[in-house]
Amino acid sequence: MSIQEGAGEQEDAGAPSLSPPAKLALVLGGVVLALFAAEILVRLLRPCAVHGARQEAPQKAIYQYDERLGWRGRPGGSGVFASYDFEVSVQLDQLGYRSSVAPTRVGHRNIVLIGDSIAWGWGVEDDEVAARVMMRAQPDWNVYNLASPGYGTDQEYLALQEFLNRKRSAPIDDCVLVLYPVNDFDDVGGCSPVFIDTFPMLLLFQV
């Protein structure tokens, strides 16, 4: 055996040897530290999406209180609408609706779309909402999106009534299209606000 080989064996023999549990603990500790560092980096570079309109004052960016409907879109409002699985830009028109066209267009079949978040376009960009998709499929249609997230059929009816009263002097609409998903049954049953039928009026509670 050479002098160099003997010195190497002495150095190896003198180095502390880690037991298998200790090695496993080091590996697991390294993995945990790496994940922790990655989590901090992700939060710094891309903050976790907030459910709703992500602005300094979330509800004021896109929505506003309404004494009759409970809430409604803010006229001209815009913002980044984000949840855990999406982040989209929202632009409302001067009436507070997520519509890109005038309420009525001469020479077109004028359709008013009412509904809740699905008709409004929850989780999709402005050019992907149902009204825009229908108009691309039928260029002679003018679909005005009167929907709003969380609305039940009572609020949809009141919003439609208000809309039609506002434009009495305009041409009569050809069609009112109601997009009614299954979850609307629950919205009507107990969500806030709740409307009580006191004919000929609807009274608003739980706002």
Asked if the structure places residue 23 within a domain, the reply is no
Asked if the structure places residue 99 within a domain, the reply is yes
Q: Report whether pLDDT(43) > 80.
A: no
Q: Report whether pLDDT(7) > 80.
A: no
Domain of residue 122 covers: 52-205
The pLDDT tens digits of the residues spanning 154-191 come to: 889 999 999 988 876 555 568 899 998 776 666 565 55
Asked if the structure places residue 27 within a domain, the reply is no
Specify the number of domains making up the chain: 1
Asked if the structure places residue 30 within a domain, the reply is no
Phi-psi domain of 144 (left: phi exceeds 0; alpha: psi -120 through 50; beta: other): beta
Asked if the structure places residue 20 within a domain, the reply is no
> How many Å apart are CA 168 and CA 51, to the nearest integer?
38
The rounded percent of the chain whose pLDDT value lies above 70 is 74
DSSP assignments along the chain, one per residue: --HHHHHHHHHHHHS----HHHHHHHHHHHHHHHHHHHHHHHHHHSPPPPSEEESSSHHHHHEEEETTTEEEEPTT-EEEEE-SS-EEEEE--TTS-S-SS-S--TTSEEEEEEESHHHHTTTS-GGGSHHHHHHHH-TTEEEEE---TT--HHHHHHHHHHHHHHTTTSPPPSEEEEE--TTHHHHHHHPSSEEEEETTEEEEE--
Nearest CA to 18 among 10, 29, 26?
A: 26
Asked if the structure places residue 190 within a domain, the reply is yes
78-82, 84-88, 97-101, 133-137, range with greatest mean pLDDT: 133-137
Asked if the structure places residue 126 within a domain, the reply is yes
The pLDDT tens digits of the residues spanning 8-25 come to: 555 555 556 788 888 888
The pLDDT tens digits of the residues spanning 85-132 come to: 788 889 999 999 999 898 888 888 999 999 999 999 999 999 999 999
